[in-house]
Structures are given as structure tokens and as C-alpha cells.
Amino acid sequence: MFGHDLKTPLIAIGGLSRLVHKNLEENSPHRKKLHIIVEETDRLEKMIKEMLDFSRPLELHRSKEDMNEVIRQSLVIISDFAQERKVKVERQSSQDLPLISIDAARMKQALINLLITPLKRHPRGNGNRAELSKMGKIHYRCKRPRLRRTDQ
């Protein structure tokens, strides 16, 4: 029942977002962000569907994918959140990666989770960085604020 309760407003959000996106002028500065909302709504709808189908065996939808593109899409999704937290996200991509057989939606979700969870825990401030290296390693650098006693 819980999944159905989520699905109804999500369908409304997705439908309205698609309608606004369709009618938005091509040169609108909001077009890219609205496209992200549409894509993420689609992704959430699929997640809810999978949650409702949880009793069935997991079905992966594998296809040959460019991992650099999956990473790029994941970083686009977290970029505003990182910027809000004053975290600089850097990516070193390797152009010679072969296409790999993955479920792109699940891989994207895993990357978003790996990237956003530590961002939620980092203090805000300059000097914080998240790096995704060529070797697929994620590095976080966080400058912790120094606390000074004021009663001395």
C-alpha cells in the first residue's frame, strides 16, 4: 500500500513536469534543470515499481554502457547539492574505457548514493572536495572547522 501512496503524487509531478518542459522555450535557462526533474521522476517511478514487485526475483536490465556517461549523469544530479554544501566535485575521466554490460539505472543510483551520503555529513565551507578518479576511487577531502574556546 505504501508504494501506491507514493506513486500517485509522483505520477502527477512527472506529468506536470513533462508538460511544462514541453511548453518551455528552447532557450530558457530552466530547461536543463526541468529535464533533470523529469528524468529523476522517471527514475523514482521505476524504483517504486520495483519496490512493488519486490516479491519477484531481481531483474537486471543490462546493456552495453559508457561508464563515463553514467558517472557524468550522476554528477549532474548531485552537483546542486554539492554546490549548496560548498563542496567542489572533480572528475578525472578515462577516454579509453570499454563499454561495459551494466544495469545503467541501478549503477547510477549506486553512484549517487556513494557520492551524496558523505556530502550530507560534511560541514559546509570552502575547501571541501569530492573527487572521482580514473581508477573509480572516490576521495573526499574535508577541511574541518577549528573550534576555539571563548572563555579564556
- The answer to whether residues 37 and 93 belong to one domain is no
Residue ranges of the chain whose pLDDT lies below 50: 144-150, 152
- The answer to whether residues 85 and 115 belong to one domain is yes
pTM of the complete model: 0.55
Report the pLDDT value the prediction gives residue 149, as an integer from 0 to 100. 45
- The answer to whether residues 34 and 81 belong to one domain is no
Q: Which of 113, 108, 100, 114 is nearest to 43 (CA)?
A: 108
Q: Provide the residue range defining the domain that includes 131.
A: 63-141
Report the pLDDT value the prediction gives residue 64, as an integer from 0 to 100. 96
Number of structural domains found in the chain: 2
What SS3 class is residue 46? helix
The CB density around residue 74, as the number of other CB atoms within 10 Å, is 22
Residue 76 belongs to a domain with what CATH number?
3.30.565.10
What separation, in Å, do the N-terminal and C-terminal C-alpha atoms of the chain show?
Answer: 58
